[in-house]
Amino acid sequence: MDNILSGIKPTGQLTLGNYIGAIKNFVKVQNEGESFLFIADLHALTLPIEPQTLHDNSRDIAAFYLAAGLNPEKANIFLQSDVAAHSELAIILQNYLYMGELSRMTQFKDKSAKMKEEAIGLGLFTYPVLMAADIVLYDSKRIPVGEDQVQHVELARDLVKRFNNRYGETLVMPKAEVAKVGARIMSLSDPTKKMSKSDPKGDVYLKDSVDVIRKKIMSAVTDMEAKVHYDVEKQPGVSNLMTIMSSLTGKSFEQIEKEFEGKGYGDFKRAVADVVIAELAPFKERYEQIVKSGKVDEVLAKGAKRANEIASKTLVRVQKAVGLYHK
Ligand code: AQP
């Protein structure tokens, strides 16, 4: 069985996009191999964040992992910063990726677009190097991610090929796994943009109350076509709501179109809100119980112990390959 790896940056509150594009799939695959599902707290430092916020968000994500159904007896849940090998390996691997490649990364271009060059942190630029280290440390072949992270996984694949060509078979080749539906949930207020934690306009947060979720979905941007039809170009808002419904119910776009034939957007949005609330409400209750139980730190410690065991072996393998390790 192949190892599975993925992570989430604790840069803000988790969104419905993070849930559909990532967490829901983590739960699905957790029994299909050993999984390493970490909280990417080092990655969260690539843009300014308050220390307390980073600390609280990190534990919060772990609690949401558990609330979503990740079983800590099977999945290794840990903080990236609890495994020093992530940083050590990144320092080595940065020599096998190039400035040109990193400057072509969409995430870097998007996030640095409005910044003055002098203010762009090096960490934002070298993000994919650390992400490549995250991936290869656990010999993981399967990387379940949303669409926006596929480019980084592709770069990690290039790096593995390059490294293995130079030093012999040392690193395992990873592959991104993207859900057929829901790999890119769009903002409710601007459906041409991705729903993002750091862009609160148009987000549904996993922590939102039932009333807030309903209100946000009822005021989602739609169009003048007045028909529930999947067409990302002409009807991006409606298509996004259909994607949300489809990924949470398993209904196809055709089924949804049929179900709402002749009905208005009000009826459709109410039904989407019902589906989202039905998925998230029980989840929120579990989350609150988990936070109260104080179990999160224990789960993180257990996950870090196992992660360190595997990661340190890979690190030594890489150190030996490049000629660093002499013991
Ligand atoms: N809108 C989305 N639709 C589907 N999947 C998504 N993911 C994020 N947004 C969507 C997936 O969630 C996982 C964790 O993402 P991340 O926290 O590591 O970083 P991100 O991709 O940059 O997510 P955000 O929410 O947009 O964070 P910020 O605002 O801090 O940059 C990944 O698998 C991602 O694909």
Rounded-to-10 torsion of CA 145, 151, 157, 161: 180
- Quick one: average pLDDT of 66-80? 96
Q: What distance in Å separates the CA atoms of residue 62 and residue 297, rounded to the nearest whole number? A: 9
Domain definitions of the chain by residue range:
3-183+295-322, 210-289
Nearest to 226 by CA among 175, 257, 263: 263
| Residue 45: predicted pLDDT | 97
| Residue 290: predicted pLDDT | 96
- Quick one: average pLDDT of 185-198? 94
- Using the atom order of ligand 1, give the atom closest to the CA of residue 44: 30
- Quick one: average pLDDT of 184-204? 92
Q: What distance in Å separates the CA atoms of residue 59 and residue 51, rounded to the nearest whole number? A: 13
> Which residue, by CA, sits nearest to atom 8 of ligand 1?
18
Q: Which of 9, 194, 269, 284 is catalytic?
A: 194
Q: What distance in Å separates the CA atoms of residue 150 and residue 107, rounded to the nearest whole number? A: 11
CA distances (Å), origin 165, targets 109, 162, 321: 29, 5, 12
9 an active-site residue?
no
Q: What value, to the nearest 5°, has the Cα angle with vertex 308 and ends 307 and 313?
A: 105
- Using the atom order of ligand 1, give the atom closest to the CA of residue 107: 22
Look at 325 and 93; give whichever has higher pLDDT.
93
| CB atoms inside a 10 Å sphere around CB 117 | 6
Express each pLDDT in 75-87 by its tens digit. Answer: 999 999 999 999 9
Q: What distance in Å separates the CA atoms of residue 314 and residue 295, rounded to the nearest whole number? A: 29
| Residue 43: predicted pLDDT | 98
Q: Flag whether pLDDT at 201 surpasses 90.
A: no
Q: Flag whether pLDDT at 217 surpasses 90.
A: yes
| Residue 264: predicted pLDDT | 96
Residue type present at position 240:
N
Express each pLDDT in 107-155 by its tens digit. Answer: 999 999 989 988 899 999 999 999 999 999 999 999 999 999 999 999 9
CATH 3.40.605.10 fits 210-289, yes or no: no
Bridge partners (DSSP) listed for residue 79:
39
194 an active-site residue?
yes
| Residue 106: predicted pLDDT | 96
| Residue 203: predicted pLDDT | 95
- Quick one: average pLDDT of 5-16? 96
Cβ < 6 Å from ligand 1: which residues?
8-9, 11-12, 15, 17-18, 20-22, 40, 145-146, 148-149, 183-185, 194-198
| Residue 325: predicted pLDDT | 78
| Residue 117: predicted pLDDT | 87
- Quick one: average pLDDT of 295-319? 97
Query: H or E element: which one contains 175?
Result: strand 175-177
- Using the atom order of ligand 1, give the atom closest to the CA of residue 10: 17
Least confident span in 44-58, 153-167, 197-211, 220-234: 197-211
28 an active-site residue?
no
| CB atoms inside a 10 Å sphere around CB 288 | 12
Q: Are 265 and 222 in contact (CB under 8 A)?
A: yes
| Residue 49: predicted pLDDT | 95
Q: Flag whether pLDDT at 223 surpasses 70.
A: yes
Pocket test for ligand 1, best of 13, 148, 193 (most atoms within 8 A of CB): 148
CA distances (Å), origin 214, targets 26, 266, 278: 26, 12, 11
Q: Flag whether pLDDT at 327 surpasses 90.
A: no
Q: Flag whether pLDDT at 237 surpasses 90.
A: yes
Q: Flag whether pLDDT at 326 surpasses 90.
A: no
| CB atoms inside a 10 Å sphere around CB 141 | 17
| Residue 38: predicted pLDDT | 98
| Residue 64: predicted pLDDT | 96
Q: What distance in Å separates the CA atoms of residue 250 and residue 262, rounded to the nearest whole number? A: 22
Q: Flag whether pLDDT at 188 surpasses 90.
A: yes
CA distances (Å), origin 256, targets 50, 115, 220, 286: 43, 42, 18, 30
| CB atoms inside a 10 Å sphere around CB 232 | 15
Burial classification of residue 258, based on how many CB atoms lie within 10 Å of its CB (0-12 exposed, 13-18 middle, 19 or more buried): exposed
User: What are the structure tokens assigned to 141, written together?
Assistant: 């072949």
Q: Flag whether pLDDT at 161 surpasses 70.
A: yes
pLDDT band (50, 70, 90) for residue 174: very high
Express each pLDDT in 13-34 by its tens digit. Answer: 999 999 999 999 999 999 999 9
Q: Are 305 and 71 in contact (CB under 8 A)?
A: no
| Residue 283: predicted pLDDT | 85
> Which residue, by CA, sits nearest to atom 14 of ligand 1?
8
| Residue 199: predicted pLDDT | 77
Nearest to 287 by CA among 77, 113, 130, 65: 65
pLDDT band (50, 70, 90) for residue 96: very high
> Which residue, by CA, sits nearest to atom 24 of ligand 1?
196
Would you state the CATH architecture of domain 3-183+295-322? Answer: 3-Layer(aba) Sandwich (3.40)
Pocket test for ligand 1, best of 18, 24, 190 (most atoms within 8 A of CB): 18
